[in-house]
Each structure stands twice: as C-alpha cells, then as structure tokens.
C-alpha cells in the first residue's frame, strides 16, 4: 500500500483512481500540524509515501507566508524524517516556482533556485528539508496542473467562455501544461522504481509538452471545446497579481525519462480527455 497525503486535490484524486493507495484528507492529516503527518506515516507503515497535498494559493501566500511554509516546508520535512526512520521512499510534488523564472532555456533539476514569491520560497523549504533528512526520495517539480476536477486554467477558461466571446490572456509566460492524471501515473511509477532501486533518489522535472504561453493554451482549449472565443495576447504587466509569476516555466524533463523511462506527456491529448470528462465534447 502507498500512503498519499491529499484527497480532493487534482493529483490526489487521480492517484486514487489509478493505484492501490490510502489517501488522507485534511481531517486525517492536517499539514499545518507536521507532527501529525509524521505520526500517520508511522501508523500506516506503507511501502512508500506520495505527498500530493500543498498550500497552493499563490497570491494569498504573500500575506500568509508563515502558514504556507509550515504546510509546504515543515510538513514535507516531517514526512521525510518519518519515511527515513521506516526506510521507505517519499515522492514529493514540487514546482517550477522555485526558480527565478527568467531567460528562455528549460530549467534543469540542478539549476540554481531563486524563488520570486512566497509560494516558491515555501516549496523550496520543503525540498531542502527532504534532502537534509536523508530519505530516499523523488522531488518531482511540475507546472500548470490541469484536470477535470478542482480549480485550474482549463475549467476557468470554460467557465468564462459561457459569458464571454473575447478574452485578454497573458502571452509572455511560457510553460508546459501538465495533466494531473499523468503526474499521478508518474508518481506511482517512480515510487515502485525507488522501492526497487534506491540509487534513483533525487530531484526531477515533469511537465507536459509542447511549451506554450497561457494565451496559446487558451486558444487550444477553445478550439478543442468548439468555443467561439477570441483570445487577445497581452503582457504580464497588463495583468498584475500580488505574487510575481515566472515568465519562464519551461522545464527540462530529460533526467526523468532517463532514470525512470517516463516520457514527457503531450498535454493536447489529455486536454481532449479532460473535455470529454467534463462533457464539453463527446
């Protein structure tokens, strides 16, 4: 059995559909109480742990950085320490926000981190704690998560298309939309392989391809959904947010394929499946 932290989030939902897992919701393991998370791992004594829970309110984190750091930093660290005690691997989902978000080259796993907002700093704290614990791990950085459930860009665009026939969408932020179902499958594969081969422990990247702007992503969503919405590209400066967003969220996923045999998914294929799940198309 694999123990999953998170129950209703996008990736956690897919993990429950795909694998033999026990998923813990906030009522069973609140990440604002790191010690309780460690105790849950000791109680269940699973074959591996996947942390698919996080504080993800990027803008709100600017005012709640202390809480975000407990949930995204202290809790994963406590999980890692408990996993190290039990000699079981930890799969932890992280983010491209740990990088500066500059330039146009895809980020490599060992590139220098320099988060530009509170959310990114809190996620980096979790990565550092996991590495220091000595646990066998896979820190899996991903980006732009989408699915048929939860809150995400695909669902937001579809909702707006019900009342709007034209939208201004940011065009200078570039990254890889990543289907939650593919992330979940990757996490399960990585867990099994780490159980068998501890030498694969490390930090990896996993995002969908090809890389696109939010404006291009929106255009593809409307095209596949058959929605007549005109997308006007705008710069980030025209859409200010409390938290600074990275312009470059491209990630080099080569190490993930080399170590685990997991290729980068084509998000356009899974987008079609998501639209079918939402009964937007048949």
Please report the pLDDT score of residue 119 as a whole number.
98
Is the Cβ–Cβ distance between 95 and 141 less than 8 Å? yes
Burial of 278 (0-12, 13-18, 19+ CB in 10 A): middle
Q: What is the DSSP string of 95-146?
A: EGGGS---SSSPBPTTSPP---SHHHHHHHHHHHHHHHHT--EEEEEE-SEE
Confidence (pLDDT) at 259? 98
For the chain, the domains span: 2-150+178-207+250-265
Q: What is the mean pLDDT of the chain?
A: 97
- What's the mean pLDDT in 138-156? 96
pLDDT for 94-133, tens place per residue? 999 999 999 999 999 999 999 999 999 999 999 999 999 9
pLDDT (tens digit, 9 = 90+) per residue, 33-74? 999 999 999 999 999 999 999 999 999 999 999 999 999 999
Provide the pLDDT confidence category of residue 19 given band limits of 50, 70 and 90: confident
If DSSP codes are grouped into helix, strand and coil, which group holds residue 39? helix
**How would you list the strands of the sheet with 2-5, edge to edge?**
21-24, 2-5, 48-51, 90-95, 137-142, 202-205
Query: In 10 A of CB 210, how many CB atoms?
Result: 12
pLDDT (0 to 100) of residue 282: 74
Proportion of the chain above pLDDT 70, given as a percent: 100
Task: Determine the 3-state secondary structure of 228 from DSSP.
Answer: coil
pLDDT over 90 at 181, yes or no: yes
CB-side exposure of 162: number of CA atoms within 13 Å? 6
Contacts of 254 (CB under 8 A, 6+ apart): none
Q: Exactly one of 97, 119, 204, 206 is catalytic; which is it? A: 119
What is the per-residue pLDDT for 126? Answer: 98
Active site residue 119: yes
Q: What pLDDT is attached to residue 104?
A: 96
Flag whether pLDDT at 226 surpasses 90: yes
Considering the domain 2-150+178-207+250-265 in this protein, what is its CATH number? 3.40.50.720
């Amino acid at each position: 059995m694999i123990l999953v932290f998170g129950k209703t989030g996008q990736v956690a939902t897919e993990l429950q559909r795909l694998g033999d897992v026990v998923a813990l919701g906030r009522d069973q393991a609140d990440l604002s109480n790191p010690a309780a998370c460690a105790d849950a791992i000791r109680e269940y004594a699973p074959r591996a742990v996947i942390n698919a829970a996080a504080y993800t309110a990027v803008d709100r984190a600017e005012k709640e950085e202390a809480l975000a750091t407990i949930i995204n930093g202290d809790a994963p660290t406590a999980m890692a320490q408990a996993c190290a005690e039990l000699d079981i691997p930890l799969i932890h989902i992280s983010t491209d926000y740990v990088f500066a978000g500059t330039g146009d080259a895809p980020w490599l796993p060992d590139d220098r981190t320099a988060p530009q907002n509170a959310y990114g700093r809190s996620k980096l704290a979790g990565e550092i704690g996991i590495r220091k614990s000595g646990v066998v791990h896979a820190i899996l950085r991903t980006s732009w998560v989408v699915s048929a459930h939860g809150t995400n860009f695909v669902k937001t665009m579809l909702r707006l298309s019900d009342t709007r026939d034209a939208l201004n969408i940011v065009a200078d932020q570039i990254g890889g939309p990543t289907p939650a179902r593919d992330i979940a499958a990757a996490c399960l594969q990585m867990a099994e392989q780490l159980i068998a081969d501890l030498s694969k422990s490390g930090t990896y990247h996993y995002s969908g391809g090809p890389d696109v702007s939010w404006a291009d992503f929106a255009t593809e969503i409307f095209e596949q959904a058959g929605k007549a919405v005109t997308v006007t590209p705008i710069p980030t400066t025209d859409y200010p947010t409390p938290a600074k967003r990275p312009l470059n969220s491209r990630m080099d996923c080569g190490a993930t394929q080399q170590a685990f045999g997991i290729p980068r998914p084509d998000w356009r294929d899974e987008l079609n499946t998501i639209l079918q799940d939402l009964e937007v198309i048949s």
